[in-house]
Amino acid sequence: MNNTFVKYKDLLTIKDYNKETDKEEFVLIPLEDELVFGRYQKSRNMLEYGQQIAIRKTVYNMLIEVAKKLKLSYPNYKLIVAFGYRDMKKQKKFFNEILEKVKDKFDDEMEMLEYIHEKIAVPEVSGHTTGGAVDVAIYDSQENKMLDYGTDILDYNTNKCYYISDEITETERENRELLRNIMVNEGFAPYDGEWWHFSYGDKEWAFYYHKKEALYNQVDAERVFNKVSDKKF
Ligand SMILES: [Zn+2]
């Protein structure tokens, strides 16, 4: 088996999004919970207004279903969400940082965009800016740590973050597989470039499930703030 990377050009084939489903509100993931809890792993990912991670309400409900099913077989396991919604301004900033470094190395613009997209999504097609993408892991509440996956969550420093890797142990592989199976069974799309990344309703999800359009479009932080139903900042 090989990893399959969704390319920028693949996502360009999803040209539209559903205007009705895109109206859906955002919720904040609780910091402590028996099923699903949110904890930023990188401070630069944090939103200006708080410690809590925002995601679309349907995505949150799906994560709760995943965690409930997980608990039936593994009573100590919960889901930890390390990242969800990202402000479009930050997506553009991170994208431009890489663009500045590499732009002189490429003659072909598409080739350059594909190269950057592997590291950070081109803003116009990015998943985290829709509130539909999440970075998750299974957390063992008895051991007080995440299961072993061979790398830390959000560690892109080596190719060991690819879902399929020759450099991980059998247990680490099984843990990745457990996470992926329960997420995909609930309707999330996986991403082979990062074992922890899953999405629902964004362009990557639409491409993976052969849908004509996405359910969610990119959203500005101001609109997310207005849409959050539980304003306990
Ligand atoms: Zn991600």
Distance from the alpha carbon of residue 34 to the mean position of ligand 1, in angstroms: 23
Q: Say how many Å lie between the CA of residue 127 and the centre of ligand 1.
A: 8
Residue 213's nearest CA partner among 223, 205, 225 is 205
User: Tokens standing for 48?
Assistant: 């200006």
pLDDT at 233: 43
Q: How does strand 213-214 pair with strand 16-17?
A: parallel
Distance 120 CA to ligand 1 centre (A): 9
Q: Tokens representing 25?
A: 């509100």
Q: Between residues 52 and 202, which one has the greater pLDDT?
A: 202
CA 82 to ligand 1 centroid distance, Å = 9
For 73-130, what is each residue's pLDDT tens digit?
999 999 999 999 999 999 999 999 999 999 999 999 999 999 999 888 999 999 999 9
Task: Please check whether residue 39 is in contact with residue 31, taking contact to mean a CB–CB distance below 8 angstroms.
Answer: yes
Residues found in the chain:
233
What is the number of other CB atoms lying within 10 angstroms of the CB of residue 34? 11
CA dihedral 98→90→157→180, nearest 10 degrees, is -130
Ligand 1 centroid to Cα of residue 193, in Å, is 10
**Domain boundaries of the chain, sorted by first residue:** 8-227
Q: What is the pTM of this model?
A: 0.94
pLDDT digits (tens, 9 = 90+) for 126-185: 999 999 999 999 999 999 999 999 999 999 889 999 999 999 999 999 999 999 999 999
Separation of CA 88 and ligand 1 centre (Å): 14
Instruction: Tell how far the Cα of 133 is from the centroid of ligand 1, in angstroms.
Output: 6
pLDDT beyond 80 at 199 = yes
pLDDT confidence of residue 1: 77
Neighbours of 38 (CB within 10 A): 25
Domain 8-227, CATH class in plain words: alpha beta
CA–centroid distance, 83 to ligand 1, in Å, is: 7
Mean pLDDT for the chain overall:
93
CA atoms within 13 A on the CB side of 70: 28
pLDDT score of 227 = 66
